Amino acid sequence: MASHALILLQIIVLSSLAATTFSLSPYYYQNICPQALPTIKTLVAAAVYKERRMGASLLRLHFHDCFVNGCDASILLDPSPTIDSEKGALANQNSARGFEVIDEIKAEVDKICGRPVVSCADILAVVARDSVVAVRICDHSSF
């Protein structure tokens, strides 16, 4: 009886440790690479300023990645003999755009952080957020 109680206590303690140790944090990138998010924001703003439609295109990339098959950045994969890519899918040809902006952002963030730190899926999510903000700023600055 005492051994069952001890096992139950161990399970509870380990479960509570796992919950606190592996929890998500909105400040993760601020701790790992403080320049990651500001770099993404700057590059998105520059892309939207250069071509205002890019804001909608970047948001659309996130939509097609996240809300179709989950937020895995699979829309960014180039087609290959072993990968049936969403990027090369008939529905996305001449439709999905902004891949070069994402590639530029990923390369710059990896360079600034010194190594690949930010996942492509996270870059798509942050870019979608920042593109909406950038379009709004562009709209208000024209008044």
- If 0-12 CB within 10 Å is exposed, 13-18 middle and 19+ buried, where does residue 3 land? exposed
Q: Is residue 65 part of an annotated ligand binding site?
A: yes
Q: Is residue 74 part of an annotated ligand binding site?
A: yes
Any idea which residues carry the catalytic annotation? 64
Return the SS3 of 83.
strand
User: Rounded to an integer, what distance in angstroms lies between the CA atom of residue 92 and that of residue 143?
Assistant: 35
Q: Is residue 141 part of an annotated ligand binding site?
A: no
Q: Is residue 122 part of an annotated ligand binding site?
A: no
Would you tell me the crossing angle of helices 36-50 and 53-69 to the nearest 10 degrees? 120
User: Rounded to an integer, what distance in angstroms lies between the CA atom of residue 112 and that of residue 9?
Assistant: 45
Binding residue ranges for Ca(2+): 65, 68, 70, 72, 74, 86
Binding residue ranges: 65, 68, 70, 72, 74, 86
